[in-house]
Amino acid sequence: MGRIDAIIIGQSEIVRYEDYSKLPLDRIHLFKDLVFLRMVHLNGHFCSHLDILNYVRYGKFYSEADYEERRWMYNIWNLPGLSSLLVANAAEHEGFHVKVINNFDSEFDRFVEYYDSQEVKPLVGISTTFYLSYAEVKRLARKLRTHDPKMKIALGGAFTNEQTINQPASALEGPMRKYGIDYVLHAFNSDKDFPALLKASRGEIDFKSVPNLAYFNDKGEFCLAEKIWNNPTLNSTPMLWKQIDLPFVNQTLQLRAASGCPFSCAFCTYPETAGGHFSMELELVKRQLADIRDLGMVKRIIFIDDTFNVPVTRFRKILEILKQFDFEWYSFLRVQYVTDEVARMMHESGCKGVYLGVESANDDILRNMNKKVTREALVKGMQHLKRYCITTFVSFVIGFPGETAETIENNISFLDECSVDFYSTKEFYYMQHSAVHQNREKYGLEGMGNNWKHNTMDSRTASEMKVHMFKAIKNSVFIDPDTSLWYLAYLNDQGFTTDQIKDVQQVINKMMLREIEGDFGNKDEELAQLKQIISKIPCRPH
């Protein structure tokens, strides 16, 4: 095996189902908000929706399998992520050789093989894109240091950046010492700084010259390098798809054609942290698609741009480019900008499904959210998408200031009126650096995070309203909001049609409904139904 300068860990099984399984079912009322609609209790423990399919198809759960088996079992984190590839790509542009571990919990054996093959041990990077706390940092660092106590570990990504938004970067020292982390790149778009960290780790430059780095010097003293802003590397370092080792890729890849968001929704912090809206040059978009096509195995692309269809003129040009290829694709979309012509072009260019952040179907709540859209405009856009048989996934934020039982009913009627294929619900999450915080006195908004109250609702009631919607909605299929669009793309990748995904999820939803009603008993009937559906889906080669 050739020289490896770094190994990047992109994703991991961040929901620890075994921890929930230790909690007593006779006290489910104390932790129901953590498990209801997110997992199912089966054979004595909680598991993900996809793990139910593993049990039905393979007779075992993901946690019971060895690493090789885990790589071809159903797991959302086996879907190739993009964040780790961006880091590896930046390093490859600077002449470094990087291996990517897409899913730590499916590929730890590969990690060991890569790491142990090197006489000069590679730097190990952990992407924190999907982390909400240090719990996963602790778990991964502990396992890595068990393998090699002297391993050099670096963190970067969205979670580390978030730690420095409302507090100084010096606050990183405590967690770094506690969890044994050597380096933290804490900037937004930290992939740009990673090559410099590699140069410093090789002794080519001083650590203090690495932008946005928190580290310990030779004396064990905590140090901070200069903090600077990084624009996204959309055009400066295009993805080297043909050079990056991708042993984990099946038929679906993620791609970004733009970064940031031109809107300012009151509950969201992304437009501020992203520092603006940046676009990839259209000719480079085309080149990226050609390079992915030339890999010979990828059939589907998920565009992770927050607002793929804005500006509309640029979107039309991208659709014309997509027509020149034979990909199916998915994206996030602002549905109010969809016309009949645009929907037709989407269909012709291979659009398989779209994520629509509707958030509310009530005009008053939409105004409070600063969504700059009306229910009428949402309905019109939905009609165009349905006319061209594009699968729709709609997300709702439950409990934003102004929310009442009546506005919740507006959401339910919207799903019926628009014949939405799939939907999800998630409670409002109150963040100090979101725009709504500036109007907290107006709304009587108190608390923080997932524990809040305001003039018209509190977080406990929002959780109850989420369950109420789940019980009331009959013509649209609920999907866990933590997997959402990726769930659809992943199961398509695994050979499921959209109708088969609906059939499977409806059975799983029936299991969850029984548990909400207090019935955690035998699920043989539902398992038999799932087995019948899955028996029609060929096993993917592995």
Spatial separation of the C-alpha atoms in residues 125 and 152, rounded to whole Å: 9
Query: Measuring CA to CA, which residue among 284, 258, 253 is closest to residue 270?
Result: 258
Closest C-alpha among 17, 347, 6, 469 to residue 199: 6
Q: What is the pLDDT of residues 127-138, one digit of tens each?
A: 999 998 999 999
Residue 52: predicted pLDDT: 97
Give tens-digit pLDDT for 371-407.
999 999 999 999 999 999 999 999 999 999 999 999 9
Q: What is the pLDDT of residue 237?
A: 84
Assigned token pair, 314: 């640029």
C-alpha torsion sign, points 39, 40, 45, 47:
negative
Q: 499: buried, middle or exposed (CB in 10 Å: 19+, 13-18, 0-12)?
A: exposed
Q: How far apart are CA 42 and CA 511, in angstroms?
A: 10
pLDDT tens per residue across span 422-459: 999 999 999 887 889 999 999 999 999 999 999 999 99
pLDDT for residue 542 = 58
Banded pLDDT at 488 (limits 50, 70, 90): very high
Contacts of 272 (CB under 8 A, 6+ apart): 433
Provide the residue type at 171 as one letter.
Answer: A
Give the Cα separation of 392 and 386 in Å (integer): 8
Taken in order 48, 52, 57, 60, the sign of the CA dihedral is positive
Question: Is 70 exceeded by the pLDDT of residue 301?
Answer: yes
CB contact set of 31 (below 8 Å; sequence gap of 6+): 20, 23
Q: pTM of the prediction?
A: 0.93
Q: Which of 1-5, 18-22, 258-262 shows the lowest per-residue confidence on average (mean pLDDT)?
A: 258-262
Q: Which of 105-109, 257-261, 317-321, 342-346 has the lowest mean pLDDT?
A: 257-261
**Of 299, 347, 323, nearest to 493 (Cα)?**
299
Burial status of residue 183 (CB atoms within 10 A of its CB: 0-12, 13-18, 19 or more): buried
What is d(CA 132, CA 502) in angstroms, rounded to the nearest whole number? 29
> What is the separation of C-alpha 117 from the centre of its chain, rounded to a whole number of angstroms?
32
Cβ count near 463 (within 10 Å): 20
- Mean pLDDT throughout 411-424? 96
Fold of 1-242: Rossmann fold (3.40.50)
Greatest Cα-to-Cα distance within the chain, rounded to the nearest angstrom: 66
User: Cα separation of 107 and 248, whole Å?
Assistant: 9
Lowest mean pLDDT among 23-37, 196-210, 511-525: 23-37
> The tokens of 425 are what?
């619900």
Q: What are the backbone angles phi and psi of residue 224, rounded to the nearest 5°?
A: -125, 130
- The topology under which CATH files domain 252-494 is TIM Barrel (3.20.20)
Question: pLDDT grade, residue 274 (50/70/90)?
Answer: low
Nearest to 306 by CA among 276, 284, 281: 276
Q: Any idea where the domains of the chain sit in the sequence? A: 1-242, 252-494, 495-542
pLDDT of residue 514: 96
Mean pLDDT of the chain: 93
Residues listed for the chain: 542
The 3-state DSSP class for residue 41 equals strand
Peptide bond into 168 cis (omega under 30): no
Residue with tokens 């978009």: 285
- Coil, strand or helix at 334: coil
Q: What is the pLDDT of residue 270?
A: 53
Calpha distance 257→381 (Å, rounded):
23
Closest CA to 66 of 107, 95, 33: 107
pLDDT 10s digits, 28-72: 988 988 899 999 999 999 999 999 999 999 999 999 999 999 999
pLDDT digit string (tens) for 199-232?
Answer: 999 999 999 999 999 999 999 999 999 999 888 7
